[in-house]
Chains A and B, each alone.
Chain A
């Protein structure tokens, strides 16, 4: 069995009186596709926010490999290899598609404010390199033809792909996808599934929050089912589908015939 890449232990997060994540423990193995499913309000996106450090945990701990993420700010977690997309897209609408992806290459550059202000010759070379790397990432998701399009005016589905390209530019170990298929048509969702499988083959571990069950069951290696901030079940797609607690939460308890 592959080693554990991400280990979440007894996570808890409450917003005021609302407990979004009550007590969640799970592992993600290196190289797998792990799906997190559950009804709206189950705490899925909050878990992503905890992993990326956008909101601090109330209790519990997260480790990436052997490293504890406690007290590590979001931008440093990105540098450790955690990237994410957003359910409600967070595209830089004021920039072109290529520039969006180049922001993902930010950490590969060294040009600081002073070097930039004086336009040191080496910064031109660095910029060219960042641009080429970013183009390669755009190509991976099939958006090369959109490179100079203002990102804000791209169709919704392409913006979702652009967010993925932007993540790839950071060379992540762990990619968190928050409802990547939401708003996509069936053909687009199929292509997305292929893309996710392709990324896994390239060695990226993927955690996926998704409502589209066809997609989840087809590509996931393991599934974590949440309900009211608690883990309801965890295991292979087949095991989870037959779990009585899952059936109960999703479909309601079977009512005996009257």
Chain B
């Protein structure tokens, strides 16, 4: 396990030396950002069994908090990032009190509605958010005087943040709290009768997942230098869920794999499709994307991580 960690770290640290093309580096930055959001979803959905179709709202809250505070009020980026995290967690907590009583499809509907409401707020509160065109000119992230003003620097920033998030997520999973969350997933009523305050734990993990999404949103705002509502639609929320499902919900390691697979797949389709079909449009890309997703889910229903584990295990023990 320790060697896997060390190996991954070295690999991630050396990656920018190999990947020189700016557009590829850009993809890797998004993989990092989406890993952060998806780890939060893994905790919420994979462990605690609570679905959210509104994570893009928290991602957006982080992005807007960073953009508004740094552009409009000159707040240092790290300060804005923390404000965003606290804001997103607080919103999740307050909003979670009524809706986390709902289960299954009803919870999905409520979070979906929440996401749409927040998206509309981004569009409509023009004075604060700049409306549909958003807020341009977000400065690069900076910390202690160091400016993350190139893609390579931002790659290291988002990758470090993603690793930190995964570390936190793994710690939570492997603890008294993680066990309580899995108990909530297994049988809420049994968890209650064993002294687990299920409502509290659900709220806390919802707030944590929101905080993680907000962290990613802030880094996104500083990376793109522009925040506009289009990035925080319902479709984005669904994509996060897809990443979590494709990676595998049963493990936090599903998050980086799912985020990488979907981000790279989307990018690859965008590049390859016009070569295959001279008149390929956005719709053709969506169709190809959908077909590939269906194929993945048919052959690896438990996600990439479980599938990889199974195939590695099978190779190591050919007799079994």
Give chain A's interface residues, CB within 8 Å of chain B. 52, 54, 73-79, 82-84, 86, 90-95, 99, 102-104, 106-107, 109, 111-113, 116-119, 123, 126-127, 130, 166-167, 169-170
Known: A106-B179, A111-B177, A127-B175. A78 touches B186 (CB 8 A): no
CA distance A130 to B180 in the complex (A): 13
Q: Could you say which of A91, A95, A127 contacts B176, with CB atoms under 8 Å apart? A: A127
Q: Return the CB mask of B210-249 against A: 1 if under 8 Å, else 0.
A: 0000000000000000000000000000000000000000
Q: Please, could you name 6 A-B residue pairs with CB atoms under 8 Å apart, sorted by A? A: A94-B186, A95-B179, A103-B183, A106-B195, A107-B194, A116-B176
A-B contact count (CB 8 A): 109
Q: Could you say which of B168, B171, B194 contacts A104, with CB atoms under 8 Å apart? A: B194
Q: Return the CB mask of B186-201 against A: 1 if under 8 Å, else 0.
A: 1101111111111000
User: At the interface, is chain B mostly helix, strand, loop or mixed?
Assistant: helix
Interface size range of chain B in the complex: 20 to 34
Are B177 and A83 touching (Cβ within 8 A)?
no
Known: A91-B186, A116-B171. A111 touches B194 (CB 8 A): no
Instruction: Give every chain B residue within 8 A of A116 (Cβ-Cβ).
Output: 171-172, 175-178
Known: A92-B186, A103-B183, A113-B204. A78 touches B175 (CB 8 A): no
Q: Tell yes or no: B182 within 8 A of A by CB.
A: yes
Q: Report the minimum CB–CB distance from B39 to chain A (whole Å).
A: 12
A166, closest chain B residue (CB):
B194
B180, closest chain A residue (CB):
A106
Are B168 and A95 touching (Cβ within 8 A)?
no
Are B193 and A103 touching (Cβ within 8 A)?
no
Are A86 and B171 touching (Cβ within 8 A)?
no
Q: Report the minimum CB–CB distance from A48 to chain B (whole Å).
A: 10
Q: Tell yes or no: B208 within 8 A of A by CB.
A: yes
Q: Could you say which of B168, B177, B195 contacts A78, with CB atoms under 8 Å apart? A: B195
Known: A95-B186, A116-B178, A127-B176. A107 touches B171 (CB 8 A): no
Besides A75-B197, A95-B183, A116-B176, 12 new A-B residue pairs in contact (Cβ under 8 A), listed by A number = A78-B194, A83-B194, A86-B189, A94-B182, A103-B180, A104-B194, A111-B175, A116-B172, A116-B175, A117-B168, A117-B171, A166-B194
Instruction: Give every chain A residue within 8 A of B204 (Cβ-Cβ).
Output: 113
Q: Tell yes or no: B270 within 8 A of A by CB.
A: no
Q: Report the minimum CB–CB distance from A244 to chain B (whole Å).
A: 37
- Which one of B172, B178, B190, B192 has the greatest number of beta carbons of chain A within 10 Å? B190
CA distance A79 to B197 in the complex (A): 10
Q: Report the minimum CB–CB distance from A89 to chain B (whole Å).
A: 9
Q: Could you say which of B176, B185, B186, B189 contacts A106, with CB atoms under 8 Å apart? A: B176
Q: Could you say which of A78, A91, A95, A169 contacts B193, with CB atoms under 8 Å apart? A: A78
- Which one of B177, B196, B205 has the greatest number of beta carbons of chain A within 10 Å? B177
- Which one of B168, B187, B195 has the greatest number of beta carbons of chain A within 10 Å? B195
Instruction: Give every chain A residue within 8 A of B197 (Cβ-Cβ).
Output: 73, 75
Are B198 and A90 touching (Cβ within 8 A)?
no
B201, closest chain A residue (CB):
A113
CA distance A109 to B193 in the complex (A): 16
Known: A104-B194, A107-B195. A123 touches B187 (CB 8 A): no
Are A83 and B193 touching (Cβ within 8 A)?
yes
Are A91 and B192 touching (Cβ within 8 A)?
no
Instruction: Give every chain B residue within 8 A of A77 (Cβ-Cβ).
Output: 193
Instruction: Give every chain B residue within 8 A of A94 (Cβ-Cβ).
Output: 182, 185-186
Are B195 and A75 touching (Cβ within 8 A)?
yes
Are B171 and A90 touching (Cβ within 8 A)?
no
Q: Which 8 residue pairs spanning A and B have beta carbons closest together?
A: A92-B186, A116-B175, A78-B195, A90-B190, A107-B195, A74-B192, A90-B187, A116-B177
Are A54 and B189 touching (Cβ within 8 A)?
yes
Are B175 and A92 touching (Cβ within 8 A)?
no
Q: Report the minimum CB–CB distance from B43 to chain A (whole Å).
A: 10
Q: Could you say which of B171, B187, B208 contacts A92, with CB atoms under 8 Å apart? A: B187
B175, closest chain A residue (CB):
A116
CA distance A84 to B175 in the complex (A): 24
CA distance A77 to B177 in the complex (A): 20
Instruction: Give every chain A residue within 8 A of B175 (Cβ-Cβ).
Output: 111, 116, 119, 123, 127
- Which one of B177, B182, B193 has the greatest number of beta carbons of chain A within 10 Å? B193
Are A75 and B189 touching (Cβ within 8 A)?
no
Q: Could you say which of B171, B186, B190, B198 contacts A119, with CB atoms under 8 Å apart? A: B171
Instruction: Give every chain A residue within 8 A of B198 (Cβ-Cβ).
Output: 75
Q: Return the CB mask of B33-55 against A: 1 if under 8 Å, else 0.
A: 00000000000000000000000
Are A92 and B168 touching (Cβ within 8 A)?
no
Q: Report the minimum CB–CB distance from B2 to chain A (whole Å).
A: 15
Instruction: Give every chain B residue within 8 A of A170 (Cβ-Cβ).
Output: 194-195
A77, closest chain B residue (CB):
B193
Instruction: Give every chain A residue within 8 A of B171 (Cβ-Cβ).
Output: 116-119
Q: Could you say which of A91, A106, A112 contacts B196, with CB atoms under 8 Å apart? A: A106
Instruction: Give every chain B residue within 8 A of A92 (Cβ-Cβ).
Output: 182-183, 185-187, 190-191
